């Protein structure tokens, strides 16, 4: 994520208010029904909307990066505790419908995984296009990988986290580096459960779908061990038809984007 754009200065949390663009404060709900949410200290003028929220920097500021029109707006509400919000209300019809489907999946997964360390806690669902969850202050694995700062036991702990959520009946479905975070203590976190699968969603094919997503996860962990530590390991499963289909379309999409 590119961290450029507006800045939100630090201020005592009790001085924050949520205000609609119309200027009418809403105290009943953090999100309300505003088409766009501004996070402002109540002693200052409204600032730019929060989009692409990034972790606070060392000097207390938050940098926001741009989001494309196929993604949700992301807001960081400096409430105690800080809350991250995904909002599709400003998107076109088809993106909103797809976003609603994604948020439904994410809400279902977060509710199922309540209490699992390494997964954001579900906060609330404010309508079909808005989801609020716990904000995780951590670094993306892809950034640590580029900087060569991945802890030596990180992949082992990440694999344990994957196993923990699968024991709850949830397969992540999108285990890319951007969806894996590392806390200051080396604790792995998984985010973005928008394409996750909760066991039982498709009764007749549930076991088949779940097993294919498990294989995808095992291959991802195997690749991480190889690229980060130079370890070559074998897994106890082979890619099935579903995985090869997803891989084919993923590779095709990447080639089209390069053109």
Quote the DSSP letter at residue 136. Answer: P
Averaged pLDDT score across all residues of the chain: 74
* Angle, CA 178 vertex, CA 137 and CA 83 arms, to 5°: 35
Backbone angles phi, psi at 22, to 5 degrees: -70, -10
Domains of the chain: 17-134 (no CATH), 139-251 (1.10.510.10)
pLDDT digits (tens, 9 = 90+) for 11-24: 333 333 333 333 32
Instruction: State pLDDT tens for residues 217-257.
Output: 988 898 899 888 887 777 666 666 666 666 676 677 667 76
**What gap in Å lies between CA 248 and CA 193, rounded to an integer?**
22
Of 46, 39, 50, the C-alpha closest to 73 is 50
pTM summary value: 0.70
**CA-to-CA distance for 128 and 225, rounded, in angstroms?**
39
* Residues forming beta bridges with residue 74, ordered by sequence position: 86
Number of helical H runs and strand E runs in the chain: 5, 13
Q: Any residues with CB less than 8 A from the CB of 35 and at least 6 apart, and which? A: 20, 21, 89, 90
Phi/psi at 94 (nearest 5 deg)? Answer: -70, -35
- Mark 205-224 as b/e (b = at least 16 C-beta within 10 Å): eeeebbebbbbbbbbbbbeb
Which residues lie closer than 8 Å to 106 by C-beta, 6 or more apart? 86, 131, 133, 192, 193, 194, 196
Q: What pLDDT, in 10s, does the model give residues 146-178?
A: 999 999 999 999 999 999 999 999 999 888 898
Read out DSSP for 26-48?
--S-SSTT-SS-EEEETTS---P
Residues of the chain above pLDDT 90, percent: 40
Structure tokens at 97: 């419908």
DSSP E strand stretches across the chain: 7-8, 16-19, 38-41, 62-63, 73-77, 83-87, 122-125, 130-134, 139-140, 170-171, 180-182, 188-190, 197-198
Residue 248, Cβ density class (10 Å: 0-12 exposed, 13-18 middle, ≥19 buried): exposed
Let me know if 36 is exposed, middle or buried by CB neighbors in 10 A (0-12, 13-18, 19+). middle
Contact 178, 142 (CB under 8 A): yes
For 24-77, how does the pLDDT look when each residue is reduced to its tens digit (9 = 90+)? 233 223 444 333 333 333 333 333 333 333 444 333 324 344 467 888 888 888
């Amino acid at each position: 994520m590119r961290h450029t754009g507006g800045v939100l200065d630090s201020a005592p949390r009790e001085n924050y208010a949520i205000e609609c663009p119309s200027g009418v404060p809403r105290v009943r709900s953090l999100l309300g029904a505003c088409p766009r949410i501004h996070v402002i200290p109540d002693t200052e003028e409204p600032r730019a909307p929060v989009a692409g929220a990034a972790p606070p920097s060392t000097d207390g500021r938050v940098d926001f990066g741009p989001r494309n029109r196929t993604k949700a707006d992301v807001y960081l509400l400096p409430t105690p505790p800080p809350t991250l919000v995904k909002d599709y209300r400003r998107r076109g019809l088809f993106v909103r419908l797809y976003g609603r489907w994604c948020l439904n999946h994410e809400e279902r997964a977060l509710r199922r995984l309540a209490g699992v360390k390494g997964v954001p806690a579900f906060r609330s669902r404010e309508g079909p296009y808005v989801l609020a969850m716990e904000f995780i202050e951590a670094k993306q694995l892809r950034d640590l990988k580029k900087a060569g700062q991945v802890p030596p036991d990180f992949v082992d702990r990440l694999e344990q986290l994957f196993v923990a959520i699968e024991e709850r009946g949830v397969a992540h479905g999108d285990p890319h580096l951007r969806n894996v975070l590392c806390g200051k203590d080396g604790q792995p976190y998984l985010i973005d459960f928008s394409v996750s699968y909760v066991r039982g969603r498709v009764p007749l094919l549930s076991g088949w779908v779940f097993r294919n997503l498990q294989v995808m996860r095992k291959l991802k962990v195997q690749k991480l061990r190889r690229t980060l530590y130079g370890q070559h390991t074998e897994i106890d499963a082979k890619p099935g038809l579903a995985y090869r289909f997803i891989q084919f379309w993923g590779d095709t999409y990447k080639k089209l984007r390069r053109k």
